[in-house]
Amino acid sequence: MQEINKKLIEAIQGKKALIWDFDGVFCFLDWHYGEGVNVYKNRLWQLLEEFDPKIRSKFSNGLNYPYEHTDYIIKRYGSEAFNKINTFYLKKELQIFTHSSFNDELIHVFRDLTQDFEHYIWSNNQGEVILKALTKSGIHDKFKAIASRDKIRLAKPNVQGFDLIKSYTSNPIKSFLFIGDSQQTDTLAAKKLGMEFFFYKVHL
């Protein structure tokens, strides 16, 4: 067993609720498949420019987190922007899904966990893709809720996703462990909530 999974098993002891990220934890989406990453990112900028032609100049110094520009547009242009952005991501994620890999060892560890934990997904990925992966792995029925990007307006590190999760549980923050692979999004979201965080990073 990989050392990271041994440490994870130790970390969850005493917890009642586990929040899992998706991409980089259960699944490794291949964002390089089909087109260069820069081509894909440029297509996204072009979509955002349909709402604000000056959007690139507003972030000329770079993004503080990968979804900052999309959140900016959604805050200002509402449901139309939200729906178009999610449609863009869904099409992309479905295209790369069949060329992506699963974290088989973690999935095996997950299946062996006792039934004493509440499990949640909180991800910036699309719900349809997440459910497809969890179903293929045979663990889709183990989660009380999936807080995916298409269900919440703002991406992590914004904490709207936890508002959805809270509606399914009475467990306090101290009973949760958040398991994620991004220090730009997951770590910051956990810090904002005062939630214990486990940095899950697998070197492929």
pLDDT of 20-57, one tens digit each?
Answer: 999 999 999 999 998 989 999 999 999 999 999 999 99
Per DSSP, the three-state class of 52 is coil
Q: CATH number of the domain that 155 lies in? A: 3.40.50.1000
Per DSSP, the three-state class of 190 is helix
Does 9 share its domain with 62? no
DSSP one-letter code for 121? E
Does 107 share its domain with 75? no
Beta bridge partners of 197: 178
> What is the pTM for the complete model shown?
0.95
Query: Angle CA(123)–CA(124)–CA(127) in degrees, nearest 5?
Result: 70
Does 114 share its domain with 18? yes
Does 22 share its domain with 110? yes
Per-residue pLDDT of the chain (204 residues; tens, 9 = 90+): 899 999 999 999 999 999 999 999 999 999 999 898 999 999 999 999 999 999 999 999 999 999 999 999 999 999 999 999 999 999 999 999 999 999 999 999 999 987 789 999 999 999 999 999 999 999 999 999 999 999 999 999 999 999 999 999 999 999 999 999 999 999 999 999 999 999 999 876
The pLDDT of residue 203 is: 73
Does 43 share its domain with 83? yes
Query: Angle CA(32)–CA(190)–CA(7) in degrees, nearest 5?
Result: 75
**What is the residue whose two structure tokens read 């398991």?**
179
C-alpha atoms less than 13 angstroms from C-alpha of 56 in its C-beta half-sphere = 10
The pLDDT of residue 204 is: 64
Contact 179, 202 (CB under 8 A): no
Q: Which segments of the chain does DSSP mark as H helices, in order?
A: 3-11, 37-49, 55-58, 68-97, 104-112, 127-137, 160-166, 186-193
Out of 97, 113, 147, a domain closes at: 97
Does 105 share its domain with 93? no
Per DSSP, the three-state class of 77 is helix
Does 80 share its domain with 7? no
Which tokens go with 27? 């699944």
Within a domain: residue 204?
A: no
Within a domain: residue 82?
A: yes
Does 109 share its domain with 20? yes
Q: How far apart are CA 69 and CA 57, in angstroms?
A: 11
Measured CA distances, 77 to 55, 57, 100 (Å): 13, 18, 33
Does 77 share its domain with 132? no
C-alpha atoms less than 13 angstroms from C-alpha of 109 in its C-beta half-sphere = 17
Does 130 share its domain with 182? yes
Residue 183 lies in domain: 3-28+101-199
Does 140 share its domain with 178? yes
Does 111 share its domain with 20? yes
